[in-house]
Structure 1
Amino acid sequence: MIKEITLISGAVFGILAIVLGAFGAHALKKTFTEEQLSSFETGVKYQMYHAILLLVIGLNFPLVNTIEHFMVFFVIAGVILFSFSIYGLCISSSRGKKIKILGPITPLGGLSLIIGWILMLVVFLDYGFYLGA
């Protein structure tokens, strides 16, 4: 089940990154400041990077132990908290009604992504680098 969640999340995040990137480049260009566009683009980039990471994890890791499950959880949660809080901040700010509660959520998402990467390192060290063999 975790493998399916990982692969589906990676695919959905990838699709949404493309859609949101195009939306930002075209529709939002007229209403966003340069800073808002740059922030929105950062959210899209991080979302796509981690969509690819989830696909790599889902296709190459056995995902049979708790640490691997937490690794996936932290990456998925990190994308949602980091990228989507940036989208919310940019869109609400461009409309003059900035949702300030999203501000502290962005760094929590970044921390969650970092924890996911640290857990991947732990998995690599635990497996002795023989994944997929």
Structure 2
Amino acid sequence: MMTFPLTLLGTLAALAVYVWASIPVGQARGKFGVKAPSVTGPPEFERAFRAHQNTMEQLVLFLPLVWIVATLFGDLWGGIYAAAWVVGRIAYVIGYIKDPEKRGAGFLISGLPSLAALVGAIVSVVIDLVR
């Protein structure tokens, strides 16, 4: 029996987004002849590379936090947070690859829920500790 099915589904979706974001990097490496381990090249390659790397960097916050949210507030809230994060990261990657100036909406869609989740979790734990 799965205790946190929505959070689990959201976690798997987030990992799938990370894998999906790596595809444009490989395509750009081939198209522009950027051989590994190089991480610099034409702007088109660098945008794809940074969108993927930024997603990986955000996973470091998201993965533990989504499970903390699910544990403290329930599976539904974990799933809602995960869904917002996934939608935001997809928008972020697409926007960044097209034009770095277009990454803002995706960043906000995933970043604001992360901030709210972090603050909410801290407040919840502190309240529980002082009781």
Alpha-carbon distance change, 28 to 51 in structure 1, aligned in 2, over 3 angstroms: farther
Q: Normalised by the size of structure 1, how large is the TM-score?
A: 0.61
Distance in 2 separating the partners of 1:126 and 1:72:
23
Flag structure 1 segments of 5+ consecutive residues without an equivalent.
Answer: none
Distance in 2 separating the partners of 1:52 and 1:15:
17
1:37: Cα distance to partner? 1.9
**Percent identity (aligned):** 13
Give the AA of the match of 1:80.
V
Count of residue correspondences: 117
Indicate conservation of the 8 Å contact 1:78/1:112, yes or no. yes
Q: How does 1:1-133 map to 2 (within 5 A)?
A: 3-17=4-18, 19-29=19-29, 30=31, 32-47=44-59, 49-55=61-67, 57-58=69-70, 61=71, 63-64=73-74, 69-70=76-77, 73-81=80-88, 83-93=89-99, 100=102, 103-128=104-129
Two-structure CA RMSD over aligned residues (Å): 3.5
SS in 2 for 1:104: helix
Give the AA of the match of 2:51.
S
Moved more, 8-17 or 47-56: 47-56
Runs of 4+ in structure 1 over 6 Å off: none
